[in-house]
Structure 1
Amino acid sequence: MAANEKSKAKTEQAKGKAKEAVGRAVGNERLTAEGRAEQSKGDARQAKEKTKDTFRH
């Protein structure tokens, strides 16, 4: 389960970066903001998984 959550976090971060880049390229502030939000969501998920790993070992 943890590996699945970690991959979800990486996917969210990558999608967020792509959205942000596209939003900046076309001048769409909403898309840029969505990308940043998605990256933050992935960062939070990754931090949660790292914390869980710390307490498991």
Structure 2
Amino acid sequence: MSSSASSARTFTVADFDFHLPPELIAQHPAPERSASRLLDGTGPAPVDRIFRDLPTLL
């Protein structure tokens, strides 16, 4: 088994079942759409980014 295969994580529906307080949910879009927030979970710790960073993450 390769090291990348052994470090791959398998997700289940339960991984996405968590409490999200209403005050943390955007009620209106950002005035500048490309300034919308984006959570980057590709590294060991999540990083707050903005949507316009997405092309460099792909």
TM bucket (normalised to shorter chain) is under 0.3
Q: Which has the higher Rg, Structure 1 or Structure 2?
A: 2
TM-score normalized by structure 1?
A: 0.21
TM-score normalized by structure 2?
A: 0.21
Taking CA–CA contacts closer than 8 Å with sequence separation of 6 or more, which of the two structures ends up with the larger relative contact order?
Answer: 1
